[in-house]
Structure 1
């Protein structure tokens, strides 16, 4: 479950999505990730060329 949580945190960071606490749960047949306060939009990114 720790690895799943770490992967979700990496994806959220890469996609520039702010969030609250992330929890991962699982059983042998199911996986669940709970992300609190997930932002609906990506943070703006300024690129200067």
Structure 2
């Protein structure tokens, strides 16, 4: 699988990952935070496939 603009995709991935680390750490509903993170990952993967 070839990734177009790998540096840009890495920034997008890691920025979101660290954002959701913070969300999870401060969340009272950890399950909801985890679901939001998983949804974001799915969206990024789908964008990378295009």
Larger Rg: 1
Which structure's relative contact order is higher, taking Cα pairs within 8 Å and 6+ residues apart? 2
TM-score where L is the length of structure 2? 0.37
TM-score (normalised: structure 1)? 0.38
Which has the larger strand fraction?
Answer: 1
Give the helix-richer structure, 1 or 2.
2
